[in-house]
Structure 1
Amino acid sequence: MSGTTWGADARFAVYYAPANGSNWWRAGSAWLGRDAEQNRPCTAPQPSELTRPLAELTEAPRRYGWHGTLVAPFKLDAQTTREDLLAAARAWAATQRSFELPVEAATLGDFVALRPTGQDGDARMREVAASALRALDSLRAKPSAEDLARRLAAPLSERQRALLIEWGYPYVFDEFRFHMTLSSSLADEQERSTLVAWWQGCAGILGPLQIDQAALFVEPAPGEPFVLWERVRFNREGT
């Protein structure tokens, strides 16, 4: 994707995204109603058990695209170019080893998401995310005092507050939990249960996620949909 229209306030993120054209990419993008790589709408079948349109249940994650966060959105340091970021992301990806990740559908608070099925998968994704954060941290702009104060006003533990101050995000390292969001916040327990059951079936058919790449996503301007800018493939084979 060309970055010629990106504003000065553009934010970048490193996400896990299934391979373009894979069944996982098509299924997740259709479910959310948008292909973030093509930046165009797409649709999935409506589960018959739902009493309202699927699009209403997926509005929040649709803006971000089908992904699992590795490095949360950040602005670039004034001395850093997009080319610097891409080069650093590619260099980091070259150090990563591909593996398979079994996943299951679950509720996270009021949300529905895909999660690793076991502690081993959770730990491996935490390692991938931590290495990406360390590799790219020097490229991010530090938040303004006002922005930091706003973020610190959220209900956070002392550990999370310390991580936010040092790393720009509270849910990193030991606080990180890999997930791929499937819904907005849903107050209705029955709706959450319906989505979990639907995606448990899908996960059984689609099989493990192939963790063999990451992707740079960009929010061109505040509030705009995130788009997949560039994929960076892992260069080391095997588990």
Structure 2
Amino acid sequence: MSAPHDFGPAARFALYYAPPRESAWWRAGSAWLGRDAESGETLLQPAIDEIDTIDTIGDAGGSLHALTRSPRRYGWHATLVPPFRLAADVTPEALFAAAQAWAQDRAAFEANVEAAMLGRFVALRPADPASETALRDLAAAALRALGSLRAVQTAAEIAKRLEAPLTPRQRAYVAEWGYPYVFDEFRFHMTLSDSLDYPALGAHLVNAWNAKMRAAGALPVCGAAIFVEPEPGAPFVLWQRVPFAKAAA
């Protein structure tokens, strides 16, 4: 992807979980969204049987492409450290080095996951409490390791975050960490759809994904990845993978 010096001051960086490139999980998720965030390739999305028979999908148009506009821009991922601008004295190379140092102390593990509804979205979610806890702990460790590299939020950025209905704890997290859904508020998810108005359509997509991935086994969590939004509104690209140094326990 782009070299570090190509990123301007408005670029935002994020530490995401992304499945290994050679895994069925990466191939399937990228194809589902229609874009490989690492290669930049546009992919042919799978046909979802019977999607055209659902007659209450409004503007979705019966196409998986139309149902995945937002997650396609972000790429196939789960957020560990949400997008942020770098502090004035921090370079992309310094961020990469810090992420590598953090990954030196991390061990690979597997997580049991399944597609489910998360509010009005379809997303890949932990399938058991142990997986939920392991993934939440991973995100918390990443945020603590990299949080000091973030630029101070502008008043406009804070105000935009606070427009959402948030609890007092979530508002405090916005003030300290720039994002409300961290630590105990964190929910691991890999988004598979836009917001859906029709429960029947969401259930159909959940069933289609779970049937497709039934034989894939557990999700391999053996590294993270730095994604970059080069300029506001641009598609996120996977810039650097950050493998965990320790083997699975």
Q: Which of 165, 169, 186 pairs up with 2:175?
A: 165
Q: Which of 134, 138, 153 pairs up with 1:124?
A: 134
Aligned residue for 1:6?
A: 7
- 3-state DSSP of counterpart to 1:35: coil
C-alpha deviation, 1:6, in angstroms:
2.1
C-alpha deviation, 1:144, in angstroms:
0.9
Q: Which of 64, 76, 97 pairs up with 2:107?
A: 97
Counterpart CA distance in 1 for 2:122 and 2:202 is 6
1:74-89 superposed matches below 5 A: 74-89=84-99
Q: Percent identity?
A: 55
Counterpart CA distance in 2 for 1:70 and 1:159 is 19
Counterpart CA distance in 1 for 2:131 and 2:103 is 18
C-alpha deviation, 1:199, in angstroms:
1.3
Q: Which of 212, 219, 231 pairs up with 2:241?
A: 231
Counterpart CA distance in 1 for 2:157 and 2:64 is 34
Counterpart CA distance in 2 for 1:229 and 1:151 is 26
2:45–2:65 CA contact under 8 A, matched in 1: no
Deviation string for 1:128-187 (max 9, x for gaps)?
Answer: 000000000110001012221221122111110001101111000000010100000010
Aligned residue for 2:38?
A: 37
1:27–1:44 CA contact under 8 A, matched in 2: no
Which consecutive aligned stretches of 4+ in structure 1 deviate over 4 angstroms post-superposition?
none
2:37–2:237 CA contact under 8 A, matched in 1: yes
- 3-state DSSP of counterpart to 1:197: helix
TM-score normalised by L of structure 1: 0.98
- 3-state DSSP of counterpart to 1:205: coil
Matching residue's letter, 2:10? D
- 3-state DSSP of counterpart to 2:79: strand
C-alpha deviation, 1:5, in angstroms:
3.0
Counterpart CA distance in 2 for 1:203 and 1:115 is 13
Aligned residue for 2:20?
A: 19
Aligned residue for 2:231?
A: 221
C-alpha deviation, 1:70, in angstroms:
0.5
Runs of 5+ in structure 1 lacking a partner?
Answer: none
TM-score normalised by L of structure 2: 0.94
Counterpart CA distance in 2 for 1:145 and 1:116 is 35
Deviation string for 1:54-106 (max 9, x for gaps)?
Answer: 10011110000000110100000001011110000000011111111111110
Q: How many residues align?
A: 239
